[in-house]
Structure 1
């Protein structure tokens, strides 16, 4: 199957992508923020599991 669209289909795709919905400005992806969030969640869940085991085993 060829990778090119018919001209009328390509025009519809370009109109769809140029609509204001698809023109949202976004901040650049920050991998350190993601890794920090994952690290904090792992620490929090580990502490929560220790707290729950302390209550359960008394």
Structure 2
């Protein structure tokens, strides 16, 4: 796909992206970890909800 930027603008973008603050190494995405954390939060909130309902009723 051809760039819609002028060569000067593309050069500015390339220089910006080469700055050290944009070169951060990221850990790999772990979907299973996200799933387990979400499940844990839902379970804890469900238990908390049941405990609060017993206190109110």
For residues 1-58 of structure 1, the aligned pairs below 5 Å read: 3-57=3-57
Q: Which runs of 5+ in 1 are unaligned?
A: none
How many residues in Structure 1 have an aligned counterpart in Structure 2? 56
**Which of the pair has the greater relative contact order for Cα pairs under 8 Å at 6+ separation?**
2
Aligned partners of 1:20 and 1:51: how far apart in 2?
50
Q: TM-score, normalised by structure 2?
A: 0.92
Moved over 4 A (4+): none
Cα-Cα RMSD: 1.2
